Amino acid sequence: MASIQLVPRLPENVSIEPSDLSIAEGKDVLEQRLRDKISTYDMDWAEAAAERLRDELELIDAYYQPLLNDSDEERKQEILGQYEARRSEIRWQYEPRIVVSVVNYGIFHLRSPR
């Protein structure tokens, strides 16, 4: 692609037929191709992150379970809120995820050199 000179207009005597795909269908096709590509990558990092998440959640559970057995209902509700917030933070921090964002895109019409 680096050797091809691109211009922002169609060549003369060229017409374009409308696409058979809607924008939503194109998005779905693109997402599926990305899933297929990502599925070929080594996912050891995700397994390690999931294991670390389990370990961290077990630590949180071990810390908060005795506190949640407190007989004071008001105190129990306060601790329960802290417990849920901490579990949520840990999930956000350690849960394996892949985020894909569109940075730039375009439609390019390429033709063979004559």
**Domain extent listing, the chain:** 50-97
The predicted model scores a pTM of 0.59
For residue 113, the model assigns a pLDDT of 65
What tens digit of pLDDT does each residue of 44-79 get? 999 999 999 999 999 999 999 998 887 788 888 899
Torsion sign, CA atoms 21, 23, 29, 33:
positive
Q: Mind giving me the DSSP string for 42-56?
A: --HHHHHHHHHHHHH
Query: How confident is residue 86, by pLDDT bands cut at 50, 70 and 90?
Result: very high
Structure tokens at 95: 């849960």
